Structure 1
Amino acid sequence: MNSKTVVETIAQRLKELRKLRGWSLDTTSKKTGVSKAMLGQIERGESSPTIGTLWKISSGLESSFSSFLSEEAEKGMPTVAFPEDPAMQIQTIFPYSSTTRIEVFEVILFDDHEQQSSAHQLEVIEHVIVIEGSMELFFDGTWHALSAGERVRFYADQQHAYRALGSKVVFHNIISYPQAEVSTNQKTFV
C-alpha cells in the first residue's frame, strides 16, 4: 500500500480546499498571508510548511488545522514531526468534528523552543492543559507561566505563542471553533 508523507497529505489538502473555494493561488495568498510562491511549492510537495505557516493557511482557508493532518491521525501515526520545526511535535488526539466544533492535539516542545502563532479565525478559543513540564503562553500581550496540571483558556484570534521552560513540555491543546453563521455567506470549517 502506498503511504503518503505528511508533506504529500498537506499538499493534497491545500489543493482540495483552494479548488473547493474556487480560489487562485493569488487569492489564496491574499487570504492566508502566505506568498503565492510558497503556496505553489507546498501544493507541489516541494516544500514542507512550518507549523506557523500551516496555521496561517488553515486560518485563511477557514479550515481546521487537523484537516491537514487527518490522514495521519486515521493511520494511527503517534506523532507528526514537521521537518521545518524539529523542536515541536504534534499528535492529533481528536480531529475536527462539525458536531462538537473542536479538535484536540497533544503538543511537545523541546529545549526552550518558542513557537509563535498568528491569529486564528475570529472567536476561535484555545484551551491549554499542561501534562508534563513547564511552559509560558503568550496572549493578551502578556506571558503566562504554566506547570504540569495547570490550564488556561484564551481567544486565539490574536497573536499568541508557546514557550517550553526547560528540555521538554507536553500539553494538550483543545481548539474550539465558533458556530457557523446562518446566512448565504455561511462560514464552514472543514
Structure 2
Amino acid sequence: MSDLDQLTQSLARNLKRLRAERGFTLDALAARSGVSRGMIIQIEQARTNPSVGTTVKIADALGVSITALLDYEQGPHVRLVPADQAVRMWSTPAGSSTRLLVDAAKPGPLELWAWLLAPGDRSESDPHPEGTAELLHVTAGTLTLVVDSVEHLVPAGTSAAFEAHLPHSYRNDGADPVELTMAVSVPPPT
C-alpha cells in the first residue's frame, strides 16, 4: 500500500471515529465545516484525497488538529517528531511550503508550523472558528501579514499574534525568502 493510500485510509477511519465520538451526523458536520455532505461521505469511504483546505475545515469543525485526522502516534507525556516525519501540507512551484511540525490535541488543537514563503508568493487562509489564535515569529525576510484586509509588515526577529477567525493571508513582497514559525490554537468544539 502506498503512503497516499495509507493516508487516505487513516483519514477515513479517523474521520468516522471522531464524527461518531462527537455525535455529529453527516449533515451536522457538513453545516459546521462548510464541506458538502457528499465530500464527507467520499472521505469516510476513502474514495478521495481532499485538499488541505477541506481537511483543515473538517479538523476545525471537529475541534482536532490535522494530524489527529492523519493518525499520528500520541505518547502519554512526551512525543518527539523527527524532522523527516513533519507533514508537508502546502507547497507551490516557486518553492513555498508549510510543514506541520507537531501538535497537541487537548483541550483544543494546538499546532506548530514551519513556513517558507518564496519571493512573490502568497497563501490565503479561510477564516478559522471563533476563538482561534495564531502566533508567528519571522526568522528571515519580511512577511506581509494581511488580517481583515489590513496589511502588517513583519520583519525578521518580529512576532505577531492575531485572531484567526478573520480573513487572513501571508505574502512575500520582497526579494528574499520569508521563513517563519507559527502556532495555531483552535478552541474545542462546543
Question: Structure 1 pair 86/2, CA: closer, same or farther in 2 (3 Å)?
Answer: closer
Match of 1:161 among 163, 169, 172: 169
Given that 1:133 and 1:148 are in contact with CA atoms closer than 8 Å, whether structure 2 keeps it comes out as yes
Q: Give the Cα separation in 2 of the matches to 1:23 and 1:100.
A: 17
CA shift for structure 1 position 5: 3.9
CA shift for structure 1 position 95: 1.0
Q: Give the Cα separation in 1 of the matches to 2:19 and 2:85.
A: 28
- Partner of residue 44, structure 1: 45
2:116 corresponds to 1:108 = yes
- Partner of residue 183, structure 1: none
- Partner of residue 56, structure 2: 55
- Partner of residue 133, structure 1: 141
What SS is found at the alignment partner of 1:10? helix
Superposition misfits of 4+ residues, deviation over 6 angstroms: 1-4, 72-75
- Partner of residue 155, structure 2: 147
**Identity %, equivalent residues:** 26
Measured on the aligned residues, the alpha-carbon RMSD in Å equals: 3.2
Count the aligned residue pairs: 179
Gaps of 5+ in 2: 74-78
TM-score by length of 1: 0.74
Gaps of 5+ in 1: 181-185
Match of 2:180 among 171, 174, 180: 171
- Partner of residue 10, structure 1: 11
Give per-residue Cα distances to partners, 1:47-76, cap 9 Å, x unaligned.
Answer: 322222222112222223442346189664
Given that 1:130 and 1:147 are in contact with CA atoms closer than 8 Å, whether structure 2 keeps it comes out as yes
TM-score by length of 2: 0.74
